[in-house]
Structure 1
Amino acid sequence: MVAVFNKELLSWYLITLKIKETLQLGVPSAPSSGMLSTEFQEQQNLQQDLQQEPSQSLHITINEGGEYFQEGATSPESEWMISTKEKLEQACEDDEACSWDKLSIYQIPHYLRDSSSDDKAYVPQIVSLGPYHHGKRRLRQMERHKWRSLNHVLKRTNHDIRLYLDSMNEIKERAISCYEGSISLNSNEFVEMLVLDGCFVLELFRGATEGFAPLGYSRNDPVFAMRGLMHSIQRDMIMLENQLPLFVLDHLLGIQLGNPDLKGLVADLALRFFDPLMPTDEPLTKKNRNKVESSEKNETITPTTTTTTTICDPLSDEDGLHCLDVFRRSLLRRGTVRPPSNWTKRWSNAHRVADKRQQQLIHSVSSLREAGIKFKKRKTDRFWDIKFKDGILRIPRLLIHDGTKSLFFNLIAFEQCHLECSNDFTSYVIFMDNLINSPADVGYLHYHGIIEHWLGNDAEVAELFNRLCREVVFDINDSYFCPLSEAVNRYYNHRWSTWCANLRHNYFNNPWAIISSVAAVVLLVFTLAQTFYSIYGYYKPL
């Protein structure tokens, strides 16, 4: 093998090598030979190509067969290899730039987005918060009201706007790490968005608690008043894609109140603001909250099946991520919070993630009634705390309104995306979806005071639950309803219970049926007695 570094020497060497090969084969060396002319042409083309390149040292390797290759030349295969390495380098940069463990504000997964028939459940219609829907045409009308709210804050506090911009600029990287995917805003635009949206949210929170008039707003204000658009604004602000990090709101409120280290107050204000969305009967006021907490000291609640648990305090922002997370914690308040599920454990064969066909926790209301199971309303505002004992399923009252679909959809999406939280709310919705298969099931639960809804009819409620759980990834073995479901299913599979239930449904379902059944039994007894005495008198006459 020969290594050559001079282009001209390489050309003459190749020509000499070819002439030597033709002489050894006995072929005339005259250039009139077609094959040799072709080879001469190839060598001349090679020489021209080498001469056109820059006069730099070129490493050419020739093997024993006379074949050669040029190190440094770019072949299609080497181009593919370079492209692959560039993609790997970009992936490495993405991993270094992104803090995946800090993600908390996600975009709705496509499988959940496609399963929803109405994009109003997850896409804001009035106001945008955060970068995902920032600048959309239909939401621009609210931007001027955001600037009005910022102006009110600056006038009321006598602060300069630069104070807020500089403060947000210091924590912008931490805020960016909370969002999933790339953000189309540049650095300055993102900081301005944090200040503008954050102050707007805080003005709404404080106005709902303190009143908007003390904050300087007119009683006829089209936005900053507890009427008009407020319900639609509340529904938009609870959406997963429309969230601001809680520490950003804490920071802004701390600047306004002169306490930079202020924590916990925003979470309390958020609960008061979103209280109308609660699917319970009682508003979550301070008085009611204290009443619930005092009553729960004497009762053991176990909505999870894990052994290591801690008490959940929804008003503590120690682990609060955003307003949706705080609202979810308030729904599961005073319950036990299990530690995060291990990813390997979640996807193992022993804890297999079930699809829609394998998410049957319990039978429908109609089927359970046929097995003799009764339904009663449980008097508690913890709507997820369902009990079963002695054939009676006690379910707390659930209030359903026109914003329930959006609320439930975003809570489920958050539990689907954020692996650091449990699936307790998803478990409850799937449990109710199993119970409700038809409008008749809804009507029966409504008759017993378990479901109260403001929708058009029972069919809409049934459709609501049936749609919410489509395409949901759910581990049936990780549900806190597993022990309860097993107890109900054991009772359901007991034949004696089924026979007794059929007897009650078919023969004792109303007073006239009872009278007819009793009359039939009496007639049967008399007939048997008459037959007995007839036979007895035949064999033993008097």
Structure 2
Amino acid sequence: MVAVFNKELLSWYLITLKLKETVDAGITNIQSPTSARSVELPNQSYQQKQQSRPYYPLQIAINAETSYNIEEGPKSPESEWVIIIRDKLEQARQDDVAGSWAKLCIYKIPQHLREGDDKVYVPQIVSLGPYHHGKKRLRCMDRHKWRSLYHMLKRNNHDIKIYLDSVKDLEERARACYEGPIGLSSNEFIEMMVLDGCFVLELFRGAVEGFKQLGYSRNDPIFAMRGSMHSIQRDMIMLENQIPLFVLDCLLGLQFNMPDYQKGVVAKLALQFFDPLMPTDEPLSKSDRKNLESSMGYASTFDPLSDQGGLHCLDVFRQSLLRRGPKPEPRIWIKRWSHANRVADKRRQQLIHCVTELREAGIKFKKRKTDRFWDVKFKNGILRIPRLLIHDGTKSLFLNLIAFEQCHLDSSNEITSYVIFMDNLINSPEDVGYLHYCGIIEHWLGSDAEVADLFNRLCQEVVFDTNDSYLSRLSEQVNQYHDHRWNAWRASLKHNYFSNPWAIISFVAAVVLLLLTFAQTFYGVYAYYRPGG
């Protein structure tokens, strides 16, 4: 071994050795009886001639960054660039395979929506599905997932292979529900689906049947409905943290030894599990509910056991809020995203005036007795709005529902329309305070200012066409009432002179005094012109 300290001398030494090895290899190939020979035919094309020539891969190492081929010379930068472009086009062709987007229903939140607050879209405790799988800060929940899987297998006396084989048959269909390529092997993806799916089902069943009945200890850190359960519920309702509903249906059916288990049971369990996140808790009597259903012309209760099913838990939760079937009329892509309907200016999203301005125009606000928080009515100058309960999870819930409506083309936009409507109504803490006084808003936040800030931030980055809102007609009626001058004058008169008993007494006294003065003046003038009358 010879130590060489001169860099240039070392480079020439390596080049000499490489040349010697290559020349020796070339001489050996020429002398070999089986060596390939190049024969040029008269009609042979240039490309065929090039392919028929013997190829000797001679590489001369000049430095660590550049290499040349003696036979071909240095590669053209343009040819490498063309190859890269062709690779990208091939990837685009694979992505654009017919039907590749048809089953997509679990989306990554678009970047323009994340600019407001990324935490409301990213799970903080538990990951479900591939988008946040394996993240370091979420791994501590994995051991509890494995505990739940062990409890489930032990309770049912099942072998894990049954679940793995069943989910393997659904792998392709499940992968199609997620956006973009999933960087997990087949075995890793199936393991994740089984582990996360069984964990979700254990939570659902435990919340309904009781975790003690499922074999968990009363002081279990996760499966005991402690304070952390609320945070887990918020993570599980996020759009990026969903598992296809048909996977959960399959796993639940296997637990009961019924592969063809009735669809919709998981949806029913999910609604009971996510009930604390409901943005309304308005109790209705049986008579009130019956009157409500008859006035609407159809049953207002969403039936999760129907054949229509749902896409995932967030979709089921949204359907239950809207109290209607899960298959609304699909929106037309061209109409939704045409240049004429693209709305980026916040002022173009104005549906209605704020509470303070509407009150000045004489519009009254009253709480509407219904459990459908989005069902707003307006008649005879009275705006009836159902009660809305706002808690610390409302922001994340609404933003993920809005993101789903923005991403999923076959989804209607009732939640987005309602949130923008309330955003227009609320411009200040005073607006929130008056709605709270009317019983329309009930919140668990620190102050009315926080509620106003919440609504003002919910739809900052949402592109929305007011003409595509179910509240557009109602807003038009309210604005027409607001713009009528007589209504504003009447409201001003009532506010200034009939707001309290003392103001009324003062107004009546002023009117009586004015009438007496008029009568005195009249009789004085009358006596002057007709003194003998």
Shorter-chain TM range is 0.7 to 0.9
- Determine whether 1:114 maps to 2:104: no
Matched residues in 2 for 1:273 and 1:290: separation? 23
In the superposition, relative to structure 1, how do residues 491 and 366 fare at CA in structure 2: closer, same or farther (>3 Å)? same
Contact 1:165 1:191 in 2 (8 A): yes
In the superposition, relative to structure 1, how do residues 90 and 334 fare at CA in structure 2: closer, same or farther (>3 Å)? closer
Deviates more, 1:316-325 or 1:171-180: 316-325
Matched residues in 2 for 1:471 and 1:425: separation? 15
Superposition map of 1:18-57 within 5 A: none
- Determine whether 1:339 maps to 2:338: no
* TM-score (norm. length: structure 2): 0.82
Contact 2:127 2:133 in 1 (8 A): yes
In the superposition, relative to structure 1, how do residues 225 and 140 fare at CA in structure 2: closer, same or farther (>3 Å)? same
Contact 1:238 1:323 in 2 (8 A): yes
1:89-120 residue CA offsets vs partner (Å, 9 max, x unmatched): 2211222398211111111111111023xx33
Contact 2:308 2:325 in 1 (8 A): no
Offset of residue 252 of structure 1: 0.3
Matched residues in 2 for 1:274 and 1:290: separation? 23
Q: Which residue of 1 aligns with 2:422?
A: 432
In the superposition, relative to structure 1, how do residues 289 and 414 fare at CA in structure 2: closer, same or farther (>3 Å)? farther
1:310-353 residue CA offsets vs partner (Å, 9 max, x unmatched): 99644436240000000000000147964011101223466554
Offset of residue 534 of structure 1: 2.4
Matched residues in 1 for 2:518 and 2:325: separation? 61
Q: Aligned letter for 2:379?
A: K
Q: Which residue of 1 aligns with 2:125?
A: 126
Q: Which residue of 2 aligns with 1:447?
A: 437
Matched residues in 2 for 1:291 and 1:405: separation? 33
In the superposition, relative to structure 1, how do residues 233 and 443 fare at CA in structure 2: closer, same or farther (>3 Å)? same
1:528 to 485, 503, 518: 518
In the superposition, relative to structure 1, how do residues 335 and 461 fare at CA in structure 2: closer, same or farther (>3 Å)? farther
Superposition map of 1:278-317 within 5 A: 278-282=278-282, 294-300=290-296, 313-316=303-306
Q: Which residue of 2 aligns with 1:85?
A: 86
* TM-score (norm. length: structure 1): 0.81
1:281-330 residue CA offsets vs partner (Å, 9 max, x unmatched): 158xxxx798887444411269xxxxxxx996444362400000000000
- Determine whether 1:412 maps to 2:412: no
Q: Secondary structure at the match of 1:489?
A: helix
Superposition map of 1:321-336 within 5 A: 321-334=311-324
Q: Secondary structure at the match of 2:204?
A: helix
Q: Secondary structure at the match of 1:388?
A: strand
Q: Which residue of 2 aligns with 1:366?
A: 356
Deviates more, 1:314-323 or 1:86-95: 314-323
Q: Secondary structure at the match of 1:393?
A: strand
1:467 to 457, 466, 483: 457
1:137-162 residue CA offsets vs partner (Å, 9 max, x unmatched): 21111111111000001101111111
In the alignment of these two chains, the number of paired residues is 466
- Determine whether 1:266 maps to 2:255: no
Q: Which residue of 2 aligns with 1:99?
A: 100
Q: Which runs of at least 4 in structure 1 moved beyond 6 Å after TM superposition?
A: 288-293
Q: How high is the sequence identity, in percent, across the aligned residues?
A: 72
- Determine whether 1:540 maps to 2:526: no
Deviates more, 1:361-370 or 1:176-185: 176-185
Contact 1:347 1:353 in 2 (8 A): no
Contact 1:280 1:383 in 2 (8 A): yes
Offset of residue 130 of structure 1: 0.7
Q: Secondary structure at the match of 1:376?
A: strand
Q: Aligned letter for 2:173?
A: R
1:392 to 382, 389, 410: 382
1:154-205 residue CA offsets vs partner (Å, 9 max, x unmatched): 1011111111111111111111111112222222111111111100000000
Q: Aligned letter for 1:216?
A: G
Matched residues in 1 for 2:85 and 2:320: separation? 48
Matched residues in 2 for 1:358 and 1:472: separation? 12
Q: Which residue of 1 aligns with 2:490?
A: 500
Contact 2:309 2:326 in 1 (8 A): no
Offset of residue 416 of structure 1: 0.7
Q: Which runs of 5+ in 1 are unaligned?
A: 1-53, 61-71, 303-309
Q: Aligned letter for 1:300?
A: M
Q: Which residue of 2 aligns with 1:29?
A: none
Q: Which residue of 2 aligns with 1:35?
A: none
Q: Aligned letter for 1:89?
A: E
Matched residues in 1 for 2:446 and 2:491: separation? 32
In the superposition, relative to structure 1, how do residues 192 and 290 fare at CA in structure 2: closer, same or farther (>3 Å)? farther
Q: Which residue of 2 aligns with 1:487?
A: 477
Matched residues in 2 for 1:164 and 1:476: separation? 47
Deviates more, 1:360-369 or 1:333-342: 333-342
Superposition map of 1:504-523 within 5 A: 504-523=494-513
Matched residues in 2 for 1:539 and 1:294: separation? 73
